[in-house]
Amino acid sequence: MQHTITDQEFGWFQRFILESAGISMSDGKKALVTGRLSRRLNALQLDSFTAYFKLLSSGKDPQEVQAAIDLLTTNETYFFREPKHFDLLRRLAGEAAHKPHPGMRVWSAASSSGEEAYSIAMVLADSLPNAAWEVMGTDISTRVLQKARRGHFPMERARHIPQDYLKRFCLRGFGEQAGTLLVDRSLRARVQFRHANLNEPMPSIGQFDVIFLRNVLIYFNTDTKRRVVSRLLGHLKPGGYLLIGHSESLNDLEQPVMPVAPSIYRKP
């Protein structure tokens, strides 16, 4: 059953996701909110969005709060999105391979269901086969993190995976699993996924050579962007690279990074 949401109710959920995740949700997202949250109203047998918002606001069910956040923040992604970033990563990994202590740490800061993190891992496994590299993926949605850890994806999301990577790092599904792929167990074991809200202090995660922060800043207002980028730069090594989405910019954020190319920044 699809429920109807009033302007006032929609305003409540705009405020809810802004306070919970720092995301500024435009008025154009009203249909998305209605469709996604109607599922929870039906599951909980609630008759209105007002009743659902009261449940979230009561503080009695933190799991339901997380479920609402999951539904309102999940976005579709795919492997090797924005390939120029992976060309850069491949070059950096090649340079790291010739250092006295080869290795890299890369953070997929808004990893969603894991395609970006596994794309990074494929490049590092190929370029640094004998080095101590690490990939960490974080997301605010616990639901997509569970999907990411499984590493099981529809085949249509794999259309940009290089063919040799597809053969080396993925298993094609057959029978009931036809039309899907499973990331190889040995590669899955090299990728760590953790729950994190970019608007809150980060847990102890150390320093990284490269941070992917792609296609998430577009959902934040200017003040939130500034705080998030500053927080992440605290975990970027000097000389490290910050990669954002091609439709995003750090203009006017006054951050201590130098633009290298569109959507690519380097920390001095």
Question: What does the pLDDT look like over 224-237, one tens digit per residue?
Answer: 999 999 999 999 99
For residue 36, indicate whether it is catalytic. Answer: yes
What DSSP assignment string belongs to 204-261? S---EEEEEE-S-GGGS-HHHHHHHHHHHHTTEEEEEEEEE-TT---TTS--S-EEEE
What is the tens place of the pLDDT at every residue in 196-249? 999 888 888 999 999 999 988 888 889 999 999 999 999 999 999 999 999 898
Strands 170-172 and 180-183: antiparallel
What is the tens place of the pLDDT at every residue in 63-93? 898 888 888 876 778 999 999 999 999 999 9
For residue 126, indicate whether it is catalytic. Answer: no
List the catalytic residue out of 139, 157, 209, 214.
139
What is the tens place of the pLDDT at every residue in 142-185? 989 999 999 999 999 999 999 999 999 999 999 999 999 999 99
Nearest CA to 117 among 208, 198, 190?
190
List the catalytic residue out of 36, 39, 143, 149.
36
